[in-house]
Structure 1
Amino acid sequence: MKIFCISDNIDTNIGLRLAGVDGIVVHEREEVLKAIEEARKDKELGILIITRKLAQLVPEVIDELKLSASLPLVVEIPDRHLKKDEDNDYITRYVRDSIGIKV
C-alpha cells in the first residue's frame, strides 16, 4: 500500500520524501483537483496526505473522499501557514469529528 502527499510547499514534500512518501507540490485549485484525480487512479494508494491549506481549496472533494468507504484514506496535515495558537487541538477535534469519541 502506498502513501502520497499533495503539498503547497517544498519543505513538506522533501520531509516526507525522506520518509519514503512520494508527493507533488501544487498551488492552484485546478492543480489540486488534477493531483487528486491522478492519485485516485492509483489502485495501490492507501493514504493520501494533503496540507490543510490545499484541502481548503477543494473542500467538497475532500469531504467526498473522507465520507466514502473506499481508499485512499485522506489525512489533512497542518502546514507552515498555521499560527501556533490558531488550532492547538486539531488532532483531537479530527478524531472526535471522525469517529465521535472525545479524547
Structure 2
Amino acid sequence: MSSKIAVMADPDTVTGFMLGGIKDGFPVIDMDEAGVKLKELTKEYSIIITTEKIGDNFREMIDKISSANALPMIIEIPDKKGSVDRESDPIRELIKRVIGVEMVE
C-alpha cells in the first residue's frame, strides 16, 4: 500500500481539500456508491479522509477495517453543516488505538 491520501466526501468538502493540495478527491452523491468506493480506496490509499455523515452510514465497515490493521487510517471530519453529536469521538478512539494513550480533556 502506498502512502497516498484520498478524500471521499460531499462535493464541497472534496473541493476544499483539493484546493488545499490533496490530489485524489472523490465526491459522494449516492451513499450506495460511497460504500463501493470506500472498499476500493482501502486497497490503494493509506489515509482516507471522509465526513462523519459518511462514517456513520458505514460504521460497521470502517470499524472492521480500522480494527484489522493500522492502515488504511480512516479519518472522519465534520462536513460543512458541522459536527455530529456522538456518544464516542472517532478521532479520540483513533488516537488511543494508534499511540495507546487516552486523551483527557
**If the length of structure 2 is used for normalisation, what is the TM-score?**
0.75
Q: 1:97 aligns with which of 63, 79, 93?
A: 93
2:5–2:46 contact (8 Å) kept in structure 1: yes
Aligned to 1:71: 71
Is 2:17 the partner of 1:16? yes
Aligned to 2:99: none
2:76–2:90 contact (8 Å) kept in structure 1: no
After superposition, give the CA deviation of every residue in 1:49-75 in whole Å (9 maximum; x if it has no partner). 011111111110111122222411110
Q: Letter of the aligned partner of 1:3 in structure 2? A: I
User: For residues 38 and 97 of structure 1, what CA distance do their matches in structure 2 show?
Assistant: 24
Unaligned runs of at least 5 residues, structure 1: none
Unaligned runs of at least 5 residues, structure 2: 97-101
Instruction: Kindly report the root-mean-square deviation, in angstroms, between the aligned alpha carbons of the 2 structures.
Output: 2.3
2:9–2:28 contact (8 Å) kept in structure 1: yes
Aligned to 1:41: 43
Aligned to 1:56: 56
Give aligned-pair identity as a percent: 31
1:27–1:54 contact (8 Å) kept in structure 2: no
> Across the two proteins, how many residue pairs are aligned to each other?
95
**If the length of structure 1 is used for normalisation, what is the TM-score?**
0.76
Deviation of 1:81 (Å): 2.0
Task: Check 1:11–1:101 CA distance in 2 against 1; reply closer, same or farther (3 A cut).
Answer: same
